[in-house]
Protein backbone atom coordinates (compact mmCIF):
# COMPACT_ATOMS: atom_id res chain seq x y z
CA UNK A 1 0.00 0.00 0.00
CA UNK A 2 1.24 3.45 -0.89
CA UNK A 3 2.23 5.78 1.96
CA UNK A 4 -0.65 8.25 2.38
CA UNK A 5 0.96 10.52 5.01
CA UNK A 6 0.51 14.21 4.31
CA UNK A 7 3.59 16.36 3.58
CA UNK A 8 4.69 19.17 5.95
CA UNK A 9 2.82 21.84 3.98
CA UNK A 10 -0.47 20.50 5.36
CA UNK A 11 0.79 19.21 8.69
CA UNK A 12 -1.93 19.25 11.34
CA UNK A 13 -4.70 19.50 8.77
CA UNK A 14 -6.98 16.79 7.39
CA UNK A 15 -6.69 14.68 10.54
CA UNK A 16 -10.12 14.62 12.14
CA UNK A 17 -12.88 13.45 9.77
CA UNK A 18 -15.42 15.61 11.63
CA UNK A 19 -13.50 18.80 12.36
CA UNK A 20 -10.81 20.90 10.70
CA UNK A 21 -7.58 21.88 12.45
CA UNK A 22 -9.36 25.10 13.52
CA UNK A 23 -12.22 23.12 15.04
CA UNK A 24 -14.77 23.99 12.36
CA UNK A 25 -17.25 21.44 11.04
CA UNK A 26 -15.80 19.65 8.03
CA UNK A 27 -17.85 19.66 4.83
CA UNK A 28 -19.43 16.42 3.66
CA UNK A 29 -20.79 15.36 0.28
CA UNK A 30 -23.61 12.89 -0.26
CA UNK A 31 -24.04 10.68 -3.31
CA UNK A 32 -26.94 12.75 -4.60
CA UNK A 33 -26.94 12.10 -8.34
CA UNK A 34 -24.78 9.11 -9.39
CA UNK A 35 -23.91 9.48 -13.05
CA UNK A 36 -20.58 7.68 -13.47
CA UNK A 37 -19.20 4.43 -12.11
CA UNK A 38 -15.46 4.25 -12.62
CA UNK A 39 -13.38 1.10 -12.83
CA UNK A 40 -9.64 1.27 -12.29
CA UNK A 41 -8.46 -1.58 -14.47
CA UNK A 42 -5.07 -1.76 -12.69
CA UNK A 43 -2.11 0.56 -12.05
CA UNK A 44 0.26 -1.11 -14.52
CA UNK A 45 1.15 1.20 -17.39
CA UNK A 46 3.50 1.05 -20.36
CA UNK A 47 5.14 4.32 -19.29
CA UNK A 48 5.97 6.17 -16.07
CA UNK A 49 4.90 9.84 -16.20
CA UNK A 50 6.37 12.63 -14.11
CA UNK A 51 4.09 13.35 -11.13
CA UNK A 52 1.53 10.67 -11.98
CA UNK A 53 -0.96 11.00 -9.13
CA UNK A 54 -1.45 7.23 -8.94
CA UNK A 55 2.22 6.39 -9.65
CA UNK A 56 1.35 4.12 -12.57
CA UNK A 57 4.34 2.43 -14.20
CA UNK A 58 5.42 -0.84 -15.85
CA UNK A 59 6.08 -2.24 -12.36
CA UNK A 60 3.41 -0.75 -10.06
CA UNK A 61 0.64 -3.29 -9.50
CA UNK A 62 -0.64 -1.80 -6.24
CA UNK A 63 -4.03 -2.01 -7.94
CA UNK A 64 -4.26 -5.31 -9.80
CA UNK A 65 -6.20 -6.08 -12.95
CA UNK A 66 -9.97 -6.19 -12.63
CA UNK A 67 -11.75 -8.98 -14.49
CA UNK A 68 -14.76 -8.70 -16.76
CA UNK A 69 -16.75 -10.86 -14.34
CA UNK A 70 -15.97 -8.46 -11.49
CA UNK A 71 -17.16 -5.56 -13.63
CA UNK A 72 -20.35 -7.49 -14.44
CA UNK A 73 -21.00 -7.99 -10.73
CA UNK A 74 -20.99 -4.22 -10.17
CA UNK A 75 -23.16 -3.66 -13.24
CA UNK A 76 -25.65 -6.06 -11.62
CA UNK A 77 -25.44 -4.05 -8.41
CA UNK A 78 -26.17 -0.85 -10.32
CA UNK A 79 -29.44 -2.33 -11.46
CA UNK A 80 -30.29 -3.59 -7.98
CA UNK A 81 -29.49 -0.28 -6.29
CA UNK A 82 -31.19 1.76 -9.06
CA UNK A 83 -28.48 4.39 -9.12
CA UNK A 84 -29.46 5.72 -12.53
CA UNK A 85 -25.85 5.80 -13.73
CA UNK A 86 -25.40 7.05 -17.30
CA UNK A 87 -21.74 6.27 -17.88
CA UNK A 88 -19.22 3.52 -17.16
CA UNK A 89 -15.67 4.88 -17.16
CA UNK A 90 -12.33 3.06 -17.25
CA UNK A 91 -9.00 4.38 -16.05
CA UNK A 92 -5.66 2.97 -14.94
CA UNK A 93 -2.73 2.68 -15.27
CA UNK A 94 -3.24 2.16 -18.93
CA UNK A 95 -6.57 0.35 -19.37
CA UNK A 96 -5.48 -1.49 -22.49
CA UNK A 97 -2.74 -3.23 -20.50
CA UNK A 98 -5.58 -5.25 -18.98
CA UNK A 99 -6.22 -8.27 -21.23
CA UNK A 100 -9.98 -8.12 -20.54
CA UNK A 101 -10.41 -4.42 -21.29
CA UNK A 102 -12.36 -4.81 -24.54
CA UNK A 103 -14.63 -7.40 -22.93
CA UNK A 104 -15.34 -5.02 -20.04
CA UNK A 105 -16.26 -2.33 -22.56
CA UNK A 106 -18.47 -4.75 -24.49
CA UNK A 107 -20.38 -5.83 -21.38
CA UNK A 108 -20.95 -2.22 -20.31
CA UNK A 109 -22.20 -1.26 -23.76
CA UNK A 110 -24.49 -4.30 -23.86
CA UNK A 111 -26.20 -2.99 -20.71
CA UNK A 112 -26.94 0.29 -22.48
CA UNK A 113 -24.34 2.49 -20.78
CA UNK A 114 -22.14 5.11 -22.37
CA UNK A 115 -18.46 4.23 -22.01
CA UNK A 116 -15.52 6.54 -21.29
CA UNK A 117 -11.97 5.21 -21.61
CA UNK A 118 -8.92 7.14 -20.38
CA UNK A 119 -5.93 6.00 -22.44
CA UNK A 120 -2.54 7.16 -23.68
CA UNK A 121 -3.42 5.62 -27.08
CA UNK A 122 0.05 4.07 -27.32
CA UNK A 123 1.17 0.52 -27.96
CA UNK A 124 -1.12 -1.30 -25.51
CA UNK A 125 -4.10 0.02 -27.45
CA UNK A 126 -2.35 -0.27 -30.81
CA UNK A 127 -1.53 -3.96 -30.55
CA UNK A 128 -3.13 -5.82 -33.45
CA UNK A 129 -5.13 -8.11 -31.17
CA UNK A 130 -6.57 -5.11 -29.31
CA UNK A 131 -7.41 -3.17 -32.47
CA UNK A 132 -9.20 -6.21 -33.89
CA UNK A 133 -11.52 -6.17 -30.85
CA UNK A 134 -11.84 -2.40 -30.63
CA UNK A 135 -12.71 -1.70 -34.25
CA UNK A 136 -16.08 -3.52 -34.22
CA UNK A 137 -16.98 -2.01 -30.84
CA UNK A 138 -16.40 1.46 -32.28
CA UNK A 139 -18.31 0.62 -35.45
CA UNK A 140 -21.33 -0.66 -33.51
CA UNK A 141 -21.34 1.90 -30.68
CA UNK A 142 -19.40 4.93 -31.93
CA UNK A 143 -21.83 7.46 -30.41
CA UNK A 144 -21.63 5.83 -26.96
CA UNK A 145 -17.85 5.46 -26.57
CA UNK A 146 -15.47 8.33 -25.78
CA UNK A 147 -11.70 7.84 -25.79
CA UNK A 148 -10.14 10.55 -23.63
CA UNK A 149 -6.50 10.56 -24.64
CA UNK A 150 -3.80 11.83 -22.28
CA UNK A 151 -2.01 14.61 -24.15
CA UNK A 152 -0.23 16.60 -21.49
CA UNK A 153 0.65 19.47 -23.81
CA UNK A 154 -0.04 20.54 -27.36
CA UNK A 155 3.70 20.55 -28.12
CA UNK A 156 5.80 17.44 -28.61
CA UNK A 157 8.63 18.85 -26.49
CA UNK A 158 6.55 19.51 -23.39
CA UNK A 159 4.47 16.34 -23.69
CA UNK A 160 7.59 14.19 -24.03
CA UNK A 161 9.14 15.92 -21.01
CA UNK A 162 6.32 14.40 -18.94
CA UNK A 163 5.81 11.06 -20.68
CA UNK A 164 9.15 10.22 -22.22
CA UNK A 165 10.90 10.75 -25.55
CA UNK A 166 8.84 9.61 -28.53
CA UNK A 167 5.57 9.33 -26.60
CA UNK A 168 3.94 12.28 -28.40
CA UNK A 169 4.47 10.71 -31.81
CA UNK A 170 3.10 7.36 -30.65
CA UNK A 171 0.03 9.01 -29.12
CA UNK A 172 -0.58 10.93 -32.34
CA UNK A 173 -0.45 7.62 -34.22
CA UNK A 174 -3.00 6.08 -31.86
CA UNK A 175 -5.30 9.08 -32.08
CA UNK A 176 -5.05 8.92 -35.85
CA UNK A 177 -6.16 5.30 -35.81
CA UNK A 178 -9.11 6.14 -33.56
CA UNK A 179 -10.02 9.06 -35.83
CA UNK A 180 -9.99 6.76 -38.86
CA UNK A 181 -12.34 4.35 -37.07
CA UNK A 182 -14.78 7.21 -36.51
CA UNK A 183 -14.25 7.12 -32.74
CA UNK A 184 -15.36 9.98 -30.52
CA UNK A 185 -12.20 11.64 -29.19
CA UNK A 186 -11.43 13.86 -26.23
CA UNK A 187 -8.12 15.00 -24.75
CA UNK A 188 -6.86 15.48 -21.20
CA UNK A 189 -4.00 17.94 -20.68
CA UNK A 190 -2.25 19.60 -17.77
CA UNK A 191 -2.02 23.25 -16.73
CA UNK A 192 1.68 23.10 -15.90
CA UNK A 193 3.15 25.72 -18.16
CA UNK A 194 3.35 29.51 -18.19
CA UNK A 195 0.39 29.98 -20.49
CA UNK A 196 -3.18 30.99 -19.88
CA UNK A 197 -6.03 28.55 -20.30
CA UNK A 198 -7.18 30.52 -23.35
CA UNK A 199 -3.71 30.24 -24.92
CA UNK A 200 -3.58 26.52 -24.21
CA UNK A 201 -7.01 25.89 -25.72
CA UNK A 202 -6.14 27.90 -28.83
CA UNK A 203 -2.92 25.91 -29.30
CA UNK A 204 -4.72 22.60 -28.81
CA UNK A 205 -7.25 23.78 -31.40
CA UNK A 206 -4.49 24.32 -33.96
CA UNK A 207 -3.12 20.85 -33.24
CA UNK A 208 -6.54 19.23 -33.63
CA UNK A 209 -7.16 21.03 -36.91
CA UNK A 210 -3.76 20.01 -38.29
CA UNK A 211 -4.50 16.32 -37.61
CA UNK A 212 -8.18 16.31 -38.48
CA UNK A 213 -9.28 15.50 -34.94
CA UNK A 214 -12.94 16.38 -34.34
CA UNK A 215 -12.37 17.80 -30.85
CA UNK A 216 -13.67 21.17 -29.71
CA UNK A 217 -10.81 22.89 -27.83
CA UNK A 218 -13.29 25.22 -26.14
CA UNK A 219 -15.48 22.45 -24.74
CA UNK A 220 -14.20 21.56 -21.24
CA UNK A 221 -15.67 18.06 -21.54
CA UNK A 222 -13.75 17.37 -24.76
CA UNK A 223 -10.53 19.26 -23.98
CA UNK A 224 -10.05 18.72 -20.26
CA UNK A 225 -7.26 20.79 -18.70
CA UNK A 226 -6.43 19.61 -15.19
CA UNK A 227 -4.63 21.59 -12.52
CA UNK A 228 -1.53 19.83 -11.24
CA UNK A 229 -2.10 17.88 -8.04
CA UNK A 230 0.88 18.90 -5.93
CA UNK A 231 0.32 17.70 -2.37
CA UNK A 232 3.27 19.82 -1.23
CA UNK A 233 1.22 22.98 -1.75
CA UNK A 234 -0.67 24.18 1.32
CA UNK A 235 -4.43 24.26 0.82
CA UNK A 236 -7.31 25.31 3.08
CA UNK A 237 -9.66 22.77 4.62
CA UNK A 238 -13.25 22.83 3.38
CA UNK A 239 -15.84 23.60 6.03
CA UNK A 240 -19.63 23.62 5.85
CA UNK A 241 -19.44 27.43 5.57
CA UNK A 242 -17.34 27.22 2.40
CA UNK A 243 -20.28 26.34 0.17
CA UNK A 244 -21.88 29.76 0.64
CA UNK A 245 -18.53 31.57 0.61
CA UNK A 246 -17.52 29.94 -2.69
CA UNK A 247 -21.04 29.99 -4.13
CA UNK A 248 -20.85 26.24 -4.73
CA UNK A 249 -23.04 23.29 -3.85
CA UNK A 250 -21.97 19.87 -2.56
CA UNK A 251 -23.58 18.43 -5.70
CA UNK A 252 -20.88 20.19 -7.76
CA UNK A 253 -18.17 17.89 -6.37
CA UNK A 254 -17.19 14.60 -8.03
CA UNK A 255 -18.07 12.38 -5.11
CA UNK A 256 -21.70 13.54 -5.37
CA UNK A 257 -22.01 11.88 -8.77
CA UNK A 258 -19.43 9.09 -9.01
CA UNK A 259 -17.63 6.22 -7.32
CA UNK A 260 -14.65 4.08 -8.42
CA UNK A 261 -14.11 0.32 -8.16
CA UNK A 262 -10.54 -0.85 -7.54
CA UNK A 263 -8.84 -4.08 -6.53
CA UNK A 264 -5.89 -3.74 -4.19
CA UNK A 265 -3.04 -6.22 -4.51
CA UNK A 266 -3.71 -9.10 -2.11
CA UNK A 267 -7.41 -8.31 -1.67
CA UNK A 268 -9.91 -11.09 -2.24
CA UNK A 269 -12.51 -8.78 -3.75
CA UNK A 270 -12.64 -5.29 -5.28
CA UNK A 271 -13.73 -2.33 -3.20
CA UNK A 272 -15.47 0.95 -3.92
CA UNK A 273 -13.56 4.21 -3.49
CA UNK A 274 -15.20 7.59 -2.95
CA UNK A 275 -12.93 9.42 -5.37
CA UNK A 276 -10.94 8.56 -8.49
CA UNK A 277 -8.04 10.64 -7.13
CA UNK A 278 -7.65 8.79 -3.83
CA UNK A 279 -7.35 5.05 -4.49
CA UNK A 280 -4.71 4.56 -1.80
CA UNK A 281 -6.33 6.53 1.05
CA UNK A 282 -8.00 3.97 3.36
CA UNK A 283 -10.50 6.49 4.77
CA UNK A 284 -11.97 6.87 1.27
CA UNK A 285 -12.48 3.12 0.83
CA UNK A 286 -16.21 2.75 1.43
CA UNK A 287 -16.55 -1.04 1.33
CA UNK A 288 -16.93 -3.83 -1.20
CA UNK A 289 -20.49 -3.13 -2.35
CA UNK A 290 -22.35 -0.25 -3.94
CA UNK A 291 -24.76 -0.27 -1.03
CA UNK A 292 -21.89 0.49 1.35
CA UNK A 293 -20.61 3.11 -1.09
CA UNK A 294 -23.78 5.17 -0.70
CA UNK A 295 -22.50 6.63 2.58
CA UNK A 296 -21.56 10.35 2.61
CA UNK A 297 -17.95 11.44 2.08
CA UNK A 298 -16.10 13.80 4.37
CA UNK A 299 -13.75 16.12 2.50
CA UNK A 300 -10.73 15.15 4.54
CA UNK A 301 -7.86 15.35 2.03
CA UNK A 302 -5.92 18.16 0.26
CA UNK A 303 -7.16 16.93 -3.13
CA UNK A 304 -10.75 17.52 -1.99
CA UNK A 305 -9.95 21.19 -1.53
CA UNK A 306 -7.41 22.02 -4.22
CA UNK A 307 -8.55 19.79 -7.02
CA UNK A 308 -12.31 19.45 -6.62
CA UNK A 309 -13.83 22.24 -4.54
CA UNK A 310 -11.41 25.07 -5.36
CA UNK A 311 -10.24 23.81 -8.74
CA UNK A 312 -13.69 22.80 -9.90
CA UNK A 313 -12.41 19.64 -11.55
CA UNK A 314 -14.58 16.90 -12.96
CA UNK A 315 -13.36 13.58 -14.28
CA UNK A 316 -16.60 12.73 -16.04
CA UNK A 317 -17.23 13.12 -19.75
Instruction: List pLDDT tens digits, range 2-48.
Output: 555 555 667 789 999 999 999 999 999 999 999 999 999 999 999 99
First-to-final CA distance of the chain: 29
Q: What is the pLDDT confidence band of residue 314, given thresholds at 50, 70 and 90?
A: very low
Identify the CATH number of the domain in which residue 282 sits.
Answer: 3.20.20.70
Domain count, the chain: 1
Per the domain annotation, does 2 fall within a domain?
no
Contact 94, 45 (CB under 8 A): yes
Supply the range of the domain harboring residue 225.
Answer: 8-309
Please give the pLDDT value at position 10.
Answer: 75
d(CA 77, CA 56): 28
Q: Does residue 223 carry a pLDDT above 50? A: yes
Please give the pLDDT value at position 191.
Answer: 85
Per the domain annotation, does 316 fall within a domain?
no
Per the domain annotation, does 1 fall within a domain?
no
Per the domain annotation, does 163 fall within a domain?
yes
Per the domain annotation, does 117 fall within a domain?
yes
Per the domain annotation, does 314 fall within a domain?
no
Per the domain annotation, does 60 fall within a domain?
yes
d(CA 169, CA 155): 11
Residue 308's nearest CA partner among 13, 6, 27, 24 is: 27
Amino acid sequence: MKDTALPPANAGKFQDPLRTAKGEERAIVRLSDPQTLWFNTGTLCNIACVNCYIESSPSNDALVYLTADEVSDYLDQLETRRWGVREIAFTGGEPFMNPEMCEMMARSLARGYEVLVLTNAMRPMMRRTVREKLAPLIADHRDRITFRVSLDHWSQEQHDAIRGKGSFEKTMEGMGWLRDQGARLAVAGRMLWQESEAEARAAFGRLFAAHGFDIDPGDPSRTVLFPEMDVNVEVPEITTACWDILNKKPSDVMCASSRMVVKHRGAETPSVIACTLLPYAPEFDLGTSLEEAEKPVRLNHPHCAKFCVLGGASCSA
